[in-house]
Each structure stands twice: as C-alpha cells, then as structure tokens.
A and B are shown apart, each in its own frame.
Chain A
C-alpha cells in the first residue's frame, strides 16, 4: 500500500469522523478524539496530545500514523475504569484489519464505536432507573 496517498482525509471523511466521535461521546459520555498524521516520538507524542484534550482523565484518543504505520489508543485515568487496555487491543485489531484493506474511515468508525460501547458504564440499579 502506498501510504500517504490513501491515508489522507478529505472533507467528507472528516465529516464522517466528526459524526462518529460525536456519536461515541453520546454513547458513553467521554470525550473522543481521532488524530491521523505524523507522530515524531510515537506513543509519547500520543500521550502528550492526549494531555491536551479538554479533560484528559475523561478522554480517549485514537492516533494513526500512516508514515510509520503505527496506531495508538490513549485513555485517561477515569476512562480506564470502564475501558481497560484489553478492550483497546481488540479495537486496534479491528482497526488493523481495516487499514490493511485501505479502509481508513471505516476502520476508525468501527474501532471508535467499539471503544465507546466498551467505555459505556454498566447500568446501576436505583441510579439509572429511578422509580
């Protein structure tokens, strides 16, 4: 695959991803962010970018570096209570298969929705269902 040519976002792709992160935020209440681009220091750069979110403790960042062919998911400390690292690895597995098929937006959509479904807090009796 010729990276750099396929892994760019046109406005319609951006709109799709904006819609996906909005839906994911509505599902679980956490802030979602997707970054597609160059990461100089790999995961350290991703963590630094995650720290720049509105509320890093309640934020989930999905990073794709097409040049280095790496992908990262960074979750905040509050998100980790419901979205563990194993679920993030599952999402990356799904994303990897999509990226290998040159389906960037579909891979982002599927992985972000998977993360949101996992991050949704379990329903609590008497709190989520008042009498």
Chain B
C-alpha cells in the first residue's frame, strides 16, 4: 500500500468517525421543560383508559335502558 494512502486512511478514518459522533451529539433530540408555552393543547381533551375487563360473574342486564349514576358539583 502506498504510504501516502495509508497515512490518509490513518488520519481520515478517525476524523470521519469523530465528525459523525459529533453530529449525533449536537443534533437536539426533544424539548425540555422550559418550552411549556408551546406545549399548551387548546380546546378540550377526552382521555380514556382501555375498555373494561369482561367479568363473566356479572349477570346480564334484563332491562334495555341503562341507568347511569354519579354526582354533580361546582367549585
């Protein structure tokens, strides 16, 4: 191998690897907590869990209409 080519590879490969690593390190990946002003989601939000677990022990409802319960309040 030509000594000049060997010297080029000897210097070029580490420099190239260092450049690639530097690019990966410098590229920002995600935002941090100080950018909260852009994170605000306007409007309403409905957040649901997974569907209820089927319970074979529960008897089926005989009445067609489902009666809802719960509570209402103000603050």
Contact = CB atoms under 8 A, between A and B. Distances in A.
A114 interface: no
How many of chain A's residues touch chain B, expressed as a range?
35 or more
A89 B36 contact: no
Given A14-B45, A73-B70, A127 B57 contact: yes
Contact of A99 (B52, B61, B75): B75
B44 A35 contact: yes
A33 B70 CA distance: 13
A87 to B, nearest CB: 9
B50 A25 contact: yes
B69 interface: yes
A121 to B, nearest CB: 8
Interface of B: 36, 39-53, 55, 57-58, 61, 66-75
